[in-house]
Amino acid sequence: ALKEGAYGYLKKPIDFDQLFKIIQSTTGEGAMVLVADDDENLGENMRQILSDRGYRVCVVNDGSEAVEKAERNQFDIMLLDMKLPPLNGLETYLAIRRFRPDIVAVAITGYRQEMSGLVQRAIEKSVYTCLEKPVDMDRLFTLLDQIEAQRRSGKIRKPE
C-alpha cells in the first residue's frame, strides 16, 4: 500500500496523535513529495521523516515508476537519486518535466565524483540543487522550507 501511494500506516492500538498528524498531512497543508531512490531503506526513512514534518510522501524505487507516479499525481517536490535504474536521474527528471513543468527537483547522489557530469547537466536543466548522501537532514529541511516559501511567492530561485 505504501509503494502504491498510501500516506502512512498505524499500528494498533491506534495512537490518535499520530492519526491526526496523518489526517492533517493529507489535507493539502504539506507539499506532496516524490522520493525516487533505488535504496528502499533510504526511501522508507525519508517517508517517515518527511511525513512526520507534515509532507505528503510517495516513495518509488526506479525511474520508470517515478514517471508513472508523476503522471497520476501532482507532486510539488521530487527528491531524485541520480543513479536510478532503468532511467538515470536526469532522464527521469526530463521525462517528468514534459508533463509536470512546475515540479521542483532536488538531486541526491552518493557518487558525487562518478555522477558529476550528470549532476551538472541536471542542474543546467533546472534541477534545483544536489545533495550528497548521506543526506544532511537539517540541510534538506532548510531547502524544503525555501522551496515551499518560493512556491508560495510564485518565484523559484535556485540556491547560489
Non-local (6+) Cβ contacts of 47 within 8 A are: 2, 8, 35, 57, 59
Amino acid at 30: G
Q: Which residues pair with 58 in a beta bridge?
A: 34
In the predicted model, what is the mean pLDDT of residues 10-14?
84
Res 75 pLDDT > 90: yes
Q: What is the mean pLDDT of the chain?
A: 88
Q: Which residues pair with 60 in a beta bridge?
A: 36
> Of 1-5, 22-26, 123-127, where does mean pLDDT reach its minimum?
22-26
Question: What is residue 153's predicted lDDT score, i.e. its pLDDT?
Answer: 80
Question: What is residue 154's predicted lDDT score, i.e. its pLDDT?
Answer: 82
| Segment 116-138, tens digit of pLDDT | 999 999 999 999 999 999 999 99
Distance, in Å, from the CA atom of 36 to the CA atom of 40, rounded to the nearest integer, reads 9
Distance, in Å, from the CA atom of 151 to the CA atom of 95, rounded to the nearest integer, reads 21
Please give the DSSP secondary-structure letter assigned to residue 35: E
The structure's pTM equals 0.80
Question: What is residue 28's predicted lDDT score, i.e. its pLDDT?
Answer: 52
Res 20 pLDDT > 90: no
43: left (phi > 0), else alpha (psi -120 to 50), else beta?
A: alpha
Residue closest to 75 by CA, chosen among 62, 93, 52, 87: 93
Model confidence band, residue 1 (pLDDT cutoffs 50, 70, 90): confident
> Of 19-23, 70-74, 130-134, where does mean pLDDT reach its minimum?
19-23
Which three three-digit cell numbers place residue 36? 525516487
Question: What is residue 160's predicted lDDT score, i.e. its pLDDT?
Answer: 65
Contact 84, 37 (CB under 8 A): yes
Residue closest to 82 by CA, chosen among 46, 120, 108: 108
Res 49 pLDDT > 80: yes
